[in-house]
Structure 1
Amino acid sequence: MFADAPRILIYSAPFYPLLGGMERYAEDLASGLAELGYDVQLATRTPPGPQADADRFSFRVLRIARARELAAAMLRNDLTLFVGLTVLDVMLAMLLLRRFVVTHHGVYSLHGDTRRFSKGTVKRWMPRFFANISVSHYLASCLAGRHTVIHNGYRDDLFVPGNAARPPGSFIFVGRLVSDKGAELLVRGFARLHAARPQARLTIVGEGPERAALVQLAATLGCDDAIVFAGGQPSEEVARLLSRHQCQVVPSVSEEPFGIVALEGLAAGCEMIVTRRGGLPEATGGFGWIVDASADAIHDAMSEVLAGRSMRREPAVSAFLRDHERLAVAGQYADALALLLPPRQWHDARLRNAAAGRPPA
């Protein structure tokens, strides 16, 4: 840590021992900023897990239960970064006249909710009053106010191509087995492909309420012997599986805020097929097939992959991935946060970034 480093409070209501995208984002950002020399503390309302925070994390973790504890933490720090928009907590920061920025990871709406006034409506309207960072240009376009766009990063120590063989026609899906993720479309498209090319194989990684229906659908379509339902897996096993498949398919039917799973597949060396939904095209950098959310379109793209065609282009893919490595993304946040600090701290923060090997953006 640098002397007189700006004190950054990251507030993430969900955190370890909960495991999910928001929790992982908060941990990666906190550790990255700490490595760049910032004085980082993470506050959360999640009770502690079995492993002591001091043993697990390179930054300080504050477990809070009351608003006054969060207020005290904000007053002790120079700037607060909110992981997601929690209305009352953000209003508290506004009342305390603290410097803060809100990061956005979703459009704050429930599928099929058409009400003109709801909690989600309020959340989409509020960003006009403060500084914002959105994880995709798509998401920024859905919310009021001005936004800096910083894509999510990936764990570049984990998601790497590897040296394992990738059998031609080996496809993989990673995600929750819920209707929004489009696994049914994938199974239907794959069934057509397998009927014509019996060597094709599909691995489905994940759990969810639609698993039984998907297993039955595969049997009905006559491709159940070519599909492996691998269940939920830890990140390490997901990375290993991705590095052993020719192509990852992300067939979402809902608008994805970004789609870190697609970025991980690209980093693991897979050919990519993603639907034209939300931020998914941004997550692949255009180095994949961008298709409509239909079984026919997914089938056609899988046929292209099985025929040996590729959308990966080097060295452009490598350059895209370098910009999304964990520490590179933390550096982008450091530059954005520096602009919200007092002038003297802004100057010092940019010097720190340069000292860490990161020229000012």
Structure 2
Amino acid sequence: MKILLGSHHFAPSIGGIETASELLAREFVKLGHEVHVITQTADGDDFPFRVIRRPGARELLRQVSWCDVFLQNNISLRTFWPLLFVRRRLFVVHQTWIRNPRGEIGWHERLKHFVLRFARSIAISKAVADELPTPVLVIPNSYDDEIFRRFEGTDRARDLVYVGRLVCDKGVDLLIEALSILRESGTETRLTVVGDGPDRSRLEKQVAELALQSSVEFVGSVNSLQLAEILNHHRILVVPSRWPEPFGIVALEGIGCGCAVVGSDQGGLPEAIGQCGVTFPNNDVRLLANALSQLIHNAAQRDLLRSNASSHLARFTKRRVAEAYLEFIEKNL
């Protein structure tokens, strides 16, 4: 089967959609299918499939004509138009909510809803599926189970780690404030912040103002192998998002590396965490601090959460998720 995978962002850009698209494309190729990726991300490394970056109108029409299946990883009106001239089955993966930046449904979002009448839809979580106006199958995102695993003999000596972009929606400022609350209650702990973004200087200033310089380390962006190594040295991964996360691949990566997870409880993030962590209400810094305190001081609870990892992660492997996609596609051609 010839699969055209549309991914507005793609490697070397870093993010959940980029990760999901690359893992899917690689597994489709391993399973014997031919894959082309179209993206608006410029430049990048070689892959075992063709990547067409910033295609013009003629090239986009050529790619849609080439494929048997057009799989959009998030609905894209920009790349939809060739289907007005070339009859191909459209599948849309819903990686996030169809809303504008204010959280509203405007004319642009209504147009996307209209286009969905002519597509088959997949949602990455039940939370996302529940907001869609058309029938949808839930297939969660996968994680790289070959990289994100427990390393034997690793000294898990550090308490807390955050992984992600440093932007306000991700709630890193809440996590830093929670550390201050923990210190006031007599709990001294350390946090490693992995990732980068426009809020880094503001967060570093917050750390200084709270006199937490010895408790918080910013390590910047790292590659997947380095991240797996870092996660294996920590006990608790914290995902303190202010907004409702549609899912949370980072939670799967942390669980795979042996971390218990503390995450916010709205959106699809609890589905990614499962029985391998605890949740707290979004934006509630006091309850975040309480959840962290409980796990920091309760090794038995951490071990219980970690013991659920194998059964939980089984449905999120690269191969299982890719096979679920292919089964759905083949049934709907």
By the TM > 0.5 criterion, same fold?
Answer: yes
Kindly tell me: are residues 78 and 229 of structure 1, through their superposed partners in 2, closer, same or farther at Cα, counting changes over 3 Å? same
Of 142, 148, 160, which aligns to 1:171? 160
The whole-number CA distance in structure 2 between the counterparts of 1:124 and 1:286 is 34
The whole-number CA distance in structure 1 between the counterparts of 2:306 and 2:260 is 13
Q: 1:314 offset after TM fit, Å?
A: 6.7
- Residue in structure 2 matched with residue 330 of structure 1 by the alignment: 322
- Residue in structure 1 matched with residue 199 of structure 2 by the alignment: 210
- Residue in structure 2 matched with residue 25 of structure 1 by the alignment: 20
- Residue in structure 2 matched with residue 183 of structure 1 by the alignment: 172
**Residue pair 2:96, 2:246 contacting (<8 A) in 1 also:** yes
- Residue in structure 1 matched with residue 229 of structure 2 by the alignment: 240
Kindly tell me: are residues 190 and 253 of structure 1, through their superposed partners in 2, closer, same or farther at Cα, counting changes over 3 Å? same
Establish whether residue 106 from structure 1 lines up as the match of residue 96 from structure 2.
yes
Q: 1:214 offset after TM fit, Å?
A: 2.1
Of 247, 253, 256, which aligns to 1:258? 247
Larger mean Cα displacement after TM superposition, 240-249 or 222-231: 222-231
Q: 1:94 offset after TM fit, Å?
A: 4.4
Establish whether residue 286 from structure 1 lines up as the match of residue 286 from structure 2.
no
RMSD between aligned alpha carbons? 2.2
Of 290, 309, 317, which aligns to 2:309? 317
Deviation digits for residues 228-267 of structure 1 (CA, Å, limit 9, x no counterpart): 1222222222221111011011000101111111111111
Kindly tell me: are residues 44 and 185 of structure 1, through their superposed partners in 2, closer, same or farther at Cα, counting changes over 3 Å? closer
Kindly tell me: are residues 110 and 243 of structure 1, through their superposed partners in 2, closer, same or farther at Cα, counting changes over 3 Å? farther
Kindly tell me: are residues 314 and 205 of structure 1, through their superposed partners in 2, closer, same or farther at Cα, counting changes over 3 Å? closer
**Residue pair 2:141, 2:321 contacting (<8 A) in 1 also:** yes
Deviation digits for residues 57-79 of structure 1 (CA, Å, limit 9, x no counterpart): 22233446222322222222211
Q: 1:45 offset after TM fit, Å?
A: 4.3
The one-letter amino acid of 2:261's match is: M
Kindly tell me: are residues 281 and 125 of structure 1, through their superposed partners in 2, closer, same or farther at Cα, counting changes over 3 Å? farther
Of 101, 109, 128, which aligns to 1:139? 128
Of 190, 205, 209, which aligns to 1:220? 209
Alignment coverage as a number of residue pairs: 329
Q: 1:89 offset after TM fit, Å?
A: 2.0
Deviation digits for residues 115-158 of structure 1 (CA, Å, limit 9, x no counterpart): x5242343345323321111111111122211111111111111
Q: What's the % identity of the aligned pairs?
A: 32
Kindly tell me: are residues 222 and 195 of structure 1, through their superposed partners in 2, closer, same or farther at Cα, counting changes over 3 Å? farther
1:249 partner SS: strand
Of 37, 47, 52, which aligns to 1:57? 47
The whole-number CA distance in structure 2 between the counterparts of 1:29 and 1:256 is 21
The whole-number CA distance in structure 1 between the counterparts of 2:38 and 2:250 is 26
Higher CA-based Rg: 1
The whole-number CA distance in structure 1 between the counterparts of 2:107 and 2:89 is 27
Larger mean Cα displacement after TM superposition, 153-162 or 82-91: 82-91
- Residue in structure 2 matched with residue 350 of structure 1 by the alignment: none
Establish whether residue 75 from structure 1 lines up as the match of residue 75 from structure 2.
no
Q: 1:97 offset after TM fit, Å?
A: 2.3
Deviation digits for residues 17-74 of structure 1 (CA, Å, limit 9, x no counterpart): 433332222221111011112222323344443x4xxxx3222334462223222222
Establish whether residue 38 from structure 1 lines up as the match of residue 33 from structure 2.
yes
The whole-number CA distance in structure 1 between the counterparts of 2:42 and 2:96 is 24
How does the TM-score come out when normalised to structure 1? Answer: 0.84
How does the TM-score come out when normalised to structure 2? Answer: 0.91
Establish whether residue 130 from structure 1 lines up as the match of residue 119 from structure 2.
yes
Establish whether residue 275 from structure 1 lines up as the match of residue 270 from structure 2.
no
Kindly tell me: are residues 61 and 227 of structure 1, through their superposed partners in 2, closer, same or farther at Cα, counting changes over 3 Å? closer
Kindly tell me: are residues 124 and 202 of structure 1, through their superposed partners in 2, closer, same or farther at Cα, counting changes over 3 Å? farther
The one-letter amino acid of 1:18's match is: S
**Residue pair 1:127, 1:143 contacting (<8 A) in 2 also:** no
The whole-number CA distance in structure 1 between the counterparts of 2:327 and 2:202 is 47
The gaps in structure 2 that reach 5 residues or longer are none
2:102 partner SS: coil
Superposition pairs of residues 89-104 of structure 1, within 5 angstroms: 89-104=79-94
**Residue pair 1:12, 1:83 contacting (<8 A) in 2 also:** yes
**Residue pair 1:288, 1:311 contacting (<8 A) in 2 also:** no
Of 2, 10, 15, which aligns to 1:7? 2
Q: 1:98 offset after TM fit, Å?
A: 1.2
